Amino acid sequence: MCGNNYYVARANALENNLSLYYTESGTRITIKYVNAPVAPNTWHTLRVTYMGEAIQVSLDGKVYIDVRDAHISGAGKAGVWTKADSVTLFDDFTYTPADK
């Protein structure tokens, strides 16, 4: 089921970290977790780049996660997500498909 299989990149101001997960059949599994300066009450730019198995997660222009992962393949969609323990605003969300 495609709706239960996806990647999640998260910036967490409560814990000052970035993390990358894959979710398979609704179960979230950590790929990478790193400390990063996610200041609260501040606008940040979170960028995720997927090219084949290569995934990069950047915060405010600096790459913090650079991995290869093959758990999920093929075309997909992009979206935003937040947890109930945060007040989060999203602005200027863009999605650019890779050139074929």
Per-residue pLDDT of the chain (100 residues; tens, 9 = 90+): 457 889 999 999 999 999 999 998 889 999 999 999 999 999 999 999 988 899 999 999 999 999 999 998 877 777 887 777 778 888 888 888 776 5
Sign of CA dihedral 66, 8, 42, 84: negative
| pLDDT value for 99 | 65
Q: Is residue 15 situated within a structural domain?
A: yes
Q: Is residue 95 situated within a structural domain?
A: no
Q: Is residue 54 situated within a structural domain?
A: yes
Residue 32 domain boundaries = 2-68
Domain count, the chain: 1
